Amino acid sequence: MNPKTILIVKPSSLGDIVHTLPALRFVKQSFPSSNVYWVANTEWSPLLEDNPDLEGVIRFPRRSFRGLRGVIRFWQWCQELGKLRADLVLDFQGLFRSALISCSAGSRVVLGLADAREGARFFYQKAASVTSSQHAVLRYLALASLAGADISGDIE
């Protein structure tokens, strides 16, 4: 697999985003010609904006999706995300909402974590074998590996 466009879905939180950065690095090293995008909550997106491994950060305005009107705005946001037409989506969050976001990206290949919650696992074509006792960095590296990334180098 040599995906042209890869989407990382890990909208929150600060620590979770930091723990996902080594996986991003290995993914980009393994697929250097791929354009990698990351869905992140608006408040965390500045952490990622100048990352050389990313083509772009897609802001997820979570707070604007509250209430009945928020459901409609979320649906419209997902439709807009579908224009990305990602070849590969990696759902590092593992929640129902992140699975919906992942499926909205227009990809036939959505990968996630085996211990995803809220039924998210049913949205994945494959899931990385992980346990809740593993450190987050190791869990996320397992997902990168499932996607075909070589994770054998030093963590940067």
Task: Give the SS3 label for residue 7.
Answer: strand
- Structure confidence at residue 137 (pLDDT): 95
- Structure confidence at residue 139 (pLDDT): 95
110 and 86 Cβ atoms separated by less than 8 Å:
no
Closest CA to 39 of 82, 121, 102, 119: 102
Rg (CA), the chain: 14
Q: What is the enclosing helix (H) or strand (E) of 28?
A: helix 14-30
Question: What mean pLDDT, rounded, does the chain reach?
Answer: 92
63 vs 38, higher pLDDT: 38
Q: Is the pLDDT of residue 63 over 80?
A: no
Distance from C-alpha of 118 to C-alpha of 125, rounded to nearest angstrom: 16
- Structure confidence at residue 26 (pLDDT): 97
Q: Is the pLDDT of residue 64 over 80?
A: no
Give yes or no for a cis peptide into 98 (omega within 30° of 0).
no
Beta bridge partners of 59: 40
